[in-house]
Amino acid sequence: MSGTPLIEISGVTFAYDGSPTLEEVNLVLEEGDYACLIGPNGGGKTTLLKLILGLLHPQKGTIRVWGRPPEEARVRVGYIPQRHRLDPNFPADVLDVVLMGRLGTSSAFGPYRRRDKEAALACLREVEMEDFRHRSFAALSGGEQQRVLIARALACEPRLLLLDEPTANLDVHMEGALYDLLSRLNRRMSVALVSHDVGIVTRFARTVVCVNRRVLSHPTAELTGEMIQDMYGGDVLLVRHDLHCAHGEHT
């Protein structure tokens, strides 16, 4: 597999109806990367993720994941969708939700196998949610639900994690914990996440992918304020998390 890029998108154009959401997109991400997709709302970030997952199909161009079509590759891709899409009253407990990630690894009929349950519990342990396994998913806080959805994504033993706005509606503390978890997971798998929060890029991601109908990618170290301004087409409030002041400097 060495030499084959993780994701290779060439000449992709995609439109839902009428004018294209994404146009002439070229992008290469390497195995082990931690990429952050940023850009304005409606710029095509989620669309790009769905193309990589094979949930949408481009009108033009090709997408390869580990050199294969997305529909074949996605058995090894863990996806964490936007949480607000899910029914807030659905009757399922935490273990149920994580076990859904095991579908496709064994026969779908009859009850879950012991192996599936053990794998699901291991994933819950990984996100420190094992004690919540019999709690109702609907009754969890946003941050806890997000962790469970990550466990569900881990349950298929993925080599790539794709996350869509994982920090939406999380408080700062939860957000920090989530990024720590992703950094830890990045040691053994590639991570790509969509965010509207430019600040996180400088702290965690290795590659930043700017998505606004067209797509540009840069190593994080080269990202400048001008580039972000260009992409959003205006001033952006950018918080530099890599600069810290000593205690007492603020009054």
State which residue, 101 or 143, has the beta carbon closest to other proteins. 101
Q: Is residue 101 involved in binding other proteins (CB under 8 A)?
A: yes
Q: What are phi and psi of 241, to 5 degrees?
A: -80, -10
For the segment 174-213, give every residue that binds other proteins (CB under 8 A): none
State which residue, 21 or 46, has the beta carbon closest to other proteins. 46
- Tell me, residue by residue from 77 to 96, as one string, x for binding to other proteins by CB under 8 A and - for no binding: x-x-x---xxx-xxxxx--x
User: DSSP string spanning the chain?
Assistant: -TTS-SEEEEEEEE-SSSS-SEEEEEEEE-TT-EEEEE--TTSSHHHHHHHHTTSS--SEEEEEETTB-HHHHGGGEEEE--GGGS-TT---BHHHHHHHTTBTTB--SSSPPHHHHHHHHHHHHHTT-GGGTTSBGGGS-HHHHHHHHHHHHHTT--SEEEEESTTTT--HHHHHHHHHHHHHHTTTSEEEEE-S-HHHHHHT-SEEEEEESEEEEEEGGG--HHHHHHHHTS------TT--PPTT---
Task: Work out how close the CB of 93 gets to other proteins at its nearest, in angstroms, rounded to a whole number.
Answer: 5
State which residue, 45 or 213, has the beta carbon closest to other proteins. 45
State which residue, 135 or 214, has the beta carbon closest to other proteins. 135
What number of chain residues touch other proteins (CB under 8 A)?
Answer: 33
Side-chain-facing half-sphere of 106: CA atoms under 13 Å: 14
Q: Is residue 132 involved in binding other proteins (CB under 8 A)?
A: no
- Tell me, residue by residue from 56 to 75, as one string, x for binding to other proteins by CB under 8 A and - for no binding: ------------------xx
211: tokens are 């998505």
Q: Is residue 104 involved in binding other proteins (CB under 8 A)?
A: yes
Residue appearing with tokens 């009929």: 109
Which stretch in 18-26, 36-44, 135-143, 177-185 sits in contact with other proteins by CB under 8 A? 135-143
State which residue, 11 or 104, has the beta carbon closest to other proteins. 104
Q: Is residue 18 involved in binding other proteins (CB under 8 A)?
A: no
- Tell me, residue by residue from 146 to 175, as one string, x for binding to other proteins by CB under 8 A and - for no binding: ------x---x-------------------
How many residues belong to the chain? 251
Out of 4, 57, 139, 219, point to the residue binding other proteins (CB under 8 A).
139
User: What is the contact surface with other proteins in residues (CB under 8 A)?
Assistant: 53, 55, 74-75, 77, 79, 81, 85-87, 89-93, 96-97, 99-101, 103-104, 108-112, 134-136, 139, 152, 156
